[in-house]
Structures are given as C-alpha cells and as structure tokens.
Amino acid sequence: MQMKVEKRLLKYIAIKTPCDENSDTVPTSQCQFDLARILADELKELGLDKVVLDDKCFVYGILAATPGYENKKKLGLIAHMDTVPEFCEAEIHPVCTPDYDGCDLVLGDSGRVLTTKDFPHLKGLKGCTLITSDGNTILGVDDKAGIAEIMQLLEILITEKIPHGQISVAFTPDEECGSGAAHFDFDTFDAEVAYTLDGDGEGEIQYQNFNACEAKFEINGKNVHPGSAKDVMINAVLIAADINNMLPRFEIPRHTEQYEGFYHLLSIHGDEGHAVSEYIIRDHDSASFEARRNTLRHIEKILNELWGEGTVTLTLTDEYQNMECIIKDHMYLIDYAREACVKANVPEDISPIRGGTDGCKLSFKGLPCPNLGTGGHGYHGPLEHVTIEGMEAAVRVIVELVKIFANE
C-alpha cells in the first residue's frame, strides 16, 4: 500500500534542516545529513539503482528505464532538503485543518493569524485539508513538499508499473544559502534535462527568474566628541541612511510584483565611525538589472565626492542569472509541463520566479531545469501552508510529465 504524500511530508518536516548562512562548510549544517540518510534509505527500499549519499550531503538515485524505453530522454527531478534558518529554533508542530472554511485561521497560541487579506488565494482552498505550523516556526514545505512529491511519484511508477524512461532524482543541500548547486555532481545524476519541484501552487510552471546580486556598502566615518564636532564629524550611520534615501522609495519588495525588480535593504549596522549596509538587488530584465547596479555605483561616487574619497566603498557580488536565456532553446520542457497540467486536470500558471532556484544555476551549467509548483504558499516564515489536495495535484502533474517523456 502506497504511503500518502502528506504522510511523507509530515515525516520529513519533523526533521529540522536549517542551513547556516554564516558557515563556510559543505553542507553548511550537519543536521541536513539527518534527512539525507533517511531519503537515501527510502530510495534503496524503493529499489532505485546507484543510490548515493556523498560527503557534501547530496542524495542521488536512478530509477532504471522500463525495458524498451532505454532510449528515451533521461529525465531528472530535484528538490532541496534545507530550510531557511529563521523561525526554526523550536520544534515544528504541524497542524492539519480538515474541511478548511476559507477564512482567517488562528495559528495555535502564537498570536499569528493566516489571513485572507495577506493571502487571497485562501478563499479558494475552502473545503481542502490545510496544513500549517502552530505559528511559532516555519512549516518546512519549502522544499520538503517537493521531496515528498518526488518520492510519491517514484512509488506510483513502480507499484502501478507505468512505463517510463530513466528517472534521475537528486535531493540537495543549502539551496536557501545559494551555495548548494555549486557542488552538484552531474555525472552521478546522469540526466539530460530536469525540473526542480520548488515552486508555490500546484500547476505553477516557471522558467524566468531574477538576475541577482548582493550589494555591500562600507562607510568609514570620522568620530569626534559631539560637543566639538562642527565641520569635523562624519557620521557613518547617517550616510548609510542617506544611501537608502537615495534609492527609489517604492522599488522594494513590498511594492513590486511579477517581473518588477527591486532594491531590498537587509541590514544597517555600525556606529558613527564605521557602518555597513547590505542589500540584495533583483530584476528579471538584464538591462534593468545593470541599471540598478549602476545606480549603486553612482551613489558611491556621489558620496565620495561629498565626504572624501574612501568614505564609501561598494562591493557587488553576483549570485545568479535569469535562466530564460537557456530555457528558450528548450521550450519543449515548458510545453510538456503545460500538457501534463492539462492531462492532470490542474490549471497551469506560468509565472516568473521572484527569487532563484538550484535550477537556474544548473541550467547555466548545461542542465536545462525549469521549476514546478508543489502546492505550497507563504514560504520562509510561520505563515507557510499547503493543502493535501494541492500536493496530490502536483504529484498528478509529474506523473503525467513522466508519461509524456516516455511517449515523445
């Protein structure tokens, strides 16, 4: 008897796997191995070949092609094991709400409320079984829903004897830190194309992600006694505030959507003598992205002219690029995903990724890799949620996708 997809999810989210953005180890946190070992054992129990858990915490496995289908394109499916570190201190307590009424939902005794104002799609989930945390932690749907759905797919293919080409699976660490894909073993994975299951709602199909970089301003001030500071003091913290005030006020995450880019202030810290402000810069359009970078360079130039050379130092660090330029040469991957949604009776939703995935980095390394939705919403915080019905729909989509690849 097949394990239900929600049972898999609940099993996986009980194992906390926050990455550590301040670590330079691979993986960034050893707790990711706790889930990796379980997943490797499950792949072996399902009968997959070449199951590997390497020293960098990547799990690989291959479901051999059905006899007669060995020449079909090798299809890969990928999900990440780590979660964000925020709201991950306490134990995760999932709460299932059967026959959800589509209204605001109080999350335990946390004082937090999942509201239809913040998440209008909740009204459309009326009658579904909604899974949330108790409001004190993340839930871990990002991306353990993707893992559960891939595992469910494998069991369905095996138990129902559905013909298929080779299916390669990988469960990766440190996606949330942005560093995991750097250590991906393409030879062990052995796929020609792939999809990440790391999106939001079921039926989501994504191949356009942000161009992304980090921006760090270091400000060197001049600190003297405030009583004798006239024409002498240079307050580094005030300059950091000036930098933010020189940026477009409404080009921030709160006021942007779809393909619109933004400047996002992560932190300002320091004192009069020295301060640091850190941003992330995002834009889908490469020309607009470069214009944003030039805006920051111009701010650095203007402030150094005002306060003296060396007062402000800007460091830009590239993170990832928009994979659309790669996927446009493999648009059948999007066509197949759309066809799978039709056959699974799941409305398609082609939308931009307002972030990045392992898939965008893998695409630039030669493995075209769009992203598919898992049924989850509200990632990276205590308002994260998913429905059983949404996960089941996501599984139906990838089952149909495998069939399409087998019959191409």
* Tokens read off for 3: 């394990």
Question: Cβ of 202: how many Cβ atoms within 10 Å?
Answer: 29
The DSSP result for 394-407, as a single string, is: HHHHHHHHHHHHHT
**188: part of which helix (H) or strand (E)?**
helix 186-189
* Tokens read off for 55: 């020293």
Residues forming beta bridges with residue 282, ordered by sequence position: 212, 262
Scored b (16 or more CB within 10 A) or e, 106-133 reads ebeeeebebeeeebeebeebeebbbbbb
Q: Catalytic residues, which ones? A: 82, 175
The strands making up 376-377's β-sheet, listed across from edge to edge, are 95-97, 130-132, 385-387, 376-377
CB neighbours of 159 closer than 8 A, spacing ≥ 6? 2
CA–CA gap between residue 70 and residue 406 (Å, rounded): 10
CA–CA gap between residue 172 and residue 180 (Å, rounded): 7
Q: 391 with 146: CB under 8 angstroms?
A: no
